[in-house]
Structure formats: structure tokens, C-alpha cells
Structure 1
Amino acid sequence: MKIVKNNLYHLLQLCQFSDSAIPIGSFAFSNGLESAIQLNVVTDEVSLKHFILVALKQSSYLDGVYVNHAYRQAKRADLDGLLALDKSYNSKRVGKELQLMSSRIGNKLASLFLHMHDSMLLRDYLALAKKQGVAVSHPIVHGIIFNELALSEQEAFAIYQYGSASMILSAAVRLMRIDHYQTQRVLFEVNQTVDGYYDKVKSMDTIETHSFAPVFDCLISHHVDAHVRMFMN
């Protein structure tokens, strides 16, 4: 099926890939929120918003850069370049649970997309990754898919950031006393950061990426040995 560039179809593609109900398994992860609530780092709407802002900043300077570069490598159909990005990203994603999250969501997203649209590039990438024993990651798969759909790099970055925030807010509804009105207000507010972050990272090379957020990383580590767990991280 050939992707046809059309304004309304273009809009619906963005809606589909930003839908929190898209079945890629993100519902199983809280991105550290579960431990943040257990340790009273997040207690209300205000602290939840601050937590998400930190998560989005961390995502921008690591995942977002890899989304951008994966999009560019996919445009050149550079399979070796895409695998090199995966290896590099996996070496920088601290913590087994975060690596597991990225790999599982990436694989589910790839599988879903191939059921919707046949992509030789994506198939070849998955086959090469399997042959070389490289764990595919969410940012790389995301960049490939948005290139295949003829959507823009900026849109790929924005939807990835939106998905990160939505994942945490979905977990928040199940973990704390907060309603959907509050979570939508938080989402509306944190979405305002996306243009600024894209402008800051669009020219960054992968060697410049960083994700230093010590409290956030400690929360992820705490979750590994937590006695009570609803989420995989």
C-alpha cells in the first residue's frame, strides 16, 4: 500500500500514533512513577506535573535525539546506520527495566506497523537486528515508522514525547488519587515544552546525548526490588 500525502489523512495518522490506546504495551510501564508515589516524591497534581517535566527533559536529550537520527538514517535506507544507533542507544539506557521497556514497546510497535503497512526497510532492519543479536529499541523503530509514513521529523519527535507523557499519566490514574480532568490539564500544560525541546536537540549528535537525572534514576532502581509492583517499571 502506497502512502499518499494528504492533509486529512496526514492528520489521522498523527492521531492514530498518538492515541494512548495504541496496543504497544506501554500500559504495563509507569516510567518510574510507581516508585515515585511509594516514596512520596509524587503526591499530587503539581508534583506529578514536575515529575513528567523531568521525564520529558530526559527523554528529549536522549530518546528524542535518537528518534531524529533514526528518521534521518531511515530516509537514507541505511540499515547499518540504524543498527549502530540501536547499539549506541542501548549502551546509554541505564537500568534493565528501562532497556526492557524500550525493547518490548519497540518490538510491539514494529509488529503492529507491519500488520498495517508492509515496509521492506522495517522488515530488513528487524531481520538484521535479530541476526546480529541487537535488541531493537523504541526510538529507532519510531523514527523508521514516521519516515515510512512520510510524516516529518518534527512530528516524529513530538509524538514520541506525547507518548512518554501519556504513559506516565495513564499510570497515574491507577496509582494515585487523581482524575481524568486533572491528567488532561497536566498533559495540556506539559505539551507546551515540545517545540523548545525539539529546537534544542535537533542539531545534537548522538555522542552529545545525556540523561542525567539522579533522583529519576534512583526511582527506577528502587522499583526493581520493590515489594509491591503493579507495573514493570
Structure 2
Amino acid sequence: MANVRQLLTSLQFADSAFPSGFYTMSHGLEGYSQARLVSRDGVQPLLAGLLLHSVGPSDATALAAAHRAAGDGDVELVQEIDQRLFASKLNAEMRTASVRSGHQLIDLGAELTDHALLAEYAGRVRLHSTPGCQPVAAAVVYAANGVSTRDSVASDLFAFSASFVGAALRLRLTDHRQAQAVLLETAGVIEQATEAALERDLADLGGCAPMADIMSARHERAEARLFAS
């Protein structure tokens, strides 16, 4: 069980107020909204589907693997996982959003935490030796602060979910009360996606959500956008 400091660290980095750039993303939701393919009642099922078939198999799996590698002090493997995750993202929009958020996270994380591997990875990101995808940056920051792999994955999936629901609010697909109901209903899905990511082999990294990829591709070319993704 995590001690209080580790728990507070996971809460801090998963908080919507943390300046990682998550507030600029809809994680594909705006594309669905523009195409009129999601309604108020469809927000939670869409979130659950993305967690189980896209974010879980890709980002969460990479985070779990990178966290274990960081714990072992293997920065070369962390970089390999980072590059694999970047290559697995089909849409330029999703790659760009992940890297922008990752760079902000690792930059601030290295400033807040004195840790050799964290500093080394942050240096590689600044030199563009590695992409710096958000889940991998999160993995390194969490590992440097002693947060367990399971808690790190669950925290990041919750951060994604909270950001998704926040986007639904701004897109007027939900209200504040229903948003909390959606998050609570999604807790079991986050747990399921977390456990699957912990068990998944790195060779199996990568989600399969064709419609989400299509919506992202359409969103890239939208005439007006509220969100970066």
C-alpha cells in the first residue's frame, strides 16, 4: 500500500490543475461531437471504450513498461518504449498532443524532483533523442517519486478520464453533476484497464480503435477547433 507521500504525489500529478496541457485536449471527443456521433448518454460508453481498446493497450501499457524500466535504472529501455509508443500513434494530432504534454510534464517533473534517471531522460527529451510521450514521461516522474507501477497506471488513466469528462463539459455534452457520475461509473473500467496494462507484454503495445483514429484525422482538418486533439 502506498504511503501518504506517494499517494499525495500520485494525486498531484493526476490533478486537472497540474500544468501538463491535458486541459487543451479532448482526446478525440471533439471529433465525435463535430460528427454528431456522441450524445449526452454516449459520453461514458465512449470513454470506457477508449480506455479498454485504445488508451489502455497503448498509453497505459507503455507507462507500466516504462515505469518498471525506470525502476531498474534502464534509461535505454525507457527510450525504446517511448519510441515504440510514438510510432504506434497513427494520427499526427495524437502524436503532437502526447509529446507536447509529455515535454511539459517531464520538464516540471525534473524541476520538482532530484533524481538521476529523471534528469537523464529529461535531458534526452530536450535534445530530441527521444519523443517524450506523456505516458512515458509520467512513468519516469512517478517512478522517481516512489509511486508503485499499479498506482501510476491507475492515476494516469484517471487523469485521462477526468480530462475527457472536462472536455465533455466544455463541449456541452454533460453537466457538472453528470460528469461526476460518469467518473464514478468509469472507476471499474479504469481498474480493468490498469490490470490488463500491467499484464500485457511490451510486444503487444498498441490499441485498436479505428473510429477514434478516423475522428482524430477529421479533427486535424476541422475549420474550427476548441481542443488540440
**Structure 1 contact 83–129 (Cα < 8 Å) conserved:** no
CA distance in 2, matches of 1:6, 1:206: 25
The one-character-per-residue Cα deviations of 1:148-174 (angstroms, maximum 9, x if unpaired) are: 111111001101110111111111111
CA distance in 1, matches of 2:86, 2:197: 19
Residue equivalent to 1:109: 105
- In the superposition, the TM-score normalised over structure 2's length comes to 0.94
Paired residue type of 1:51: L
Residue equivalent to 1:118: 114
Indicate yes or no: 2:201 matched with 1:205.
yes
- In the superposition, the TM-score normalised over structure 1's length comes to 0.92
Give the C-alpha shift of residue 211 in structure 1: 1.1
Q: How does 1:37-186 map to 2 (within 5 A)?
A: 37-44=33-40, 46-57=41-52, 58-131=54-127, 133-186=129-182
User: Alignment length, in residue pairs?
Assistant: 228
Residue equivalent to 2:220: 224
**Structure 2 contact 85–206 (Cα < 8 Å) conserved:** no
Residue equivalent to 1:187: 183
Question: Is the alpha carbon distance of 1:13 and 1:206 closer, same or farther for their aligned partners in structure 2, counting shifts above 3 Å?
Answer: same
Question: Is the alpha carbon distance of 1:207 and 1:163 closer, same or farther for their aligned partners in structure 2, counting shifts above 3 Å?
Answer: same
Indicate yes or no: 2:44 matched with 1:20.
no
The one-character-per-residue Cα deviations of 1:102-155 (angstroms, maximum 9, x if unpaired) are: 101111111121222222211111223444632111111111111111111100
Q: Give 5+ residue unaligned stretches, structure 1.
A: none
CA distance in 1, matches of 2:166, 2:6: 26
Secondary structure, aligned partner of 1:126: helix
Secondary structure, aligned partner of 2:199: coil
Superposed CA RMSD in Å reads: 1.7
Secondary structure, aligned partner of 2:78: helix
CA distance in 1, matches of 2:29, 2:203: 28
